[in-house]
């Protein structure tokens, strides 16, 4: 196999280079378009607002787990400090909602 054809392709058991989830834009040759960043920001802020407004988990449990992972991941497209702040705020809210869901489940089990 020619190295030119496959470049830096890993072998079957090779490890991929680590991607800094906190700075996804740094993996690109040029910064992402501002409208892309705005869409990401809007999605994150909408999910954060939904979590803040909720008294109980507003998503099915598996959907909440996927959303939590997506939130953390796509926040990496934002400026580092903004991403850190939004992740921390969402973590507080999702922990509160998981605790409320657990309490509701325990209460239902007791009856």
Helix (H) or strand (E) holding 19: none
The more confidently predicted of residues 32 and 35 is 35
Instruction: Judge whether 58 lies within some domain.
Output: yes
Q: Show the domain range for 36.
A: 21-110
Instruction: Judge whether 75 lies within some domain.
Output: yes
Instruction: Judge whether 2 lies within some domain.
Output: no
Residue 2: phi and psi, rounded to 5, are: -85, 135
Sign, CA dihedral 16-18-22-27, equals negative
Instruction: Judge whether 11 lies within some domain.
Output: no
Instruction: Judge whether 84 lies within some domain.
Output: yes
What pLDDT is attached to residue 70? 97
Predicted confidence band of residue 111 (pLDDT cuts 50, 70, 90): confident
Structurally, how many domains does the chain consist of?
1
- The predicted model scores a pTM of 0.74
Nearest to 27 by CA among 77, 75, 63: 77
Instruction: Judge whether 1 lies within some domain.
Output: no
Instruction: Judge whether 90 lies within some domain.
Output: yes
Instruction: Judge whether 98 lies within some domain.
Output: yes
The DSSP secondary-structure symbol of 88 reads H
């Amino acid at each position: 196999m020619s190295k030119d054809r496959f470049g830096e392709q890993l072998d079957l058991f090779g490890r991929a280079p680590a991607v800094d989830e906190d700075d996804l834009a740094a993996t690109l040759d040029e910064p992402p378009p501002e409208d892309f960043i705005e869409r990401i920001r809007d999605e994150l802020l909408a999910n954060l607002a939904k979590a803040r407004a909720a008294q109980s988990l507003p998503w099915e449990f598996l959907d909440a787990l996927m959303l939590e992972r997506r939130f953390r991941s796509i926040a990496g497209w934002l400026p580092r400090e903004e991403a850190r702040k939004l992740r921390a705020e969402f973590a507080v809210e999702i922990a509160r909602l998981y605790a409320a869901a657990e309490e509701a489940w325990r209460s239902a089990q007791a009856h």
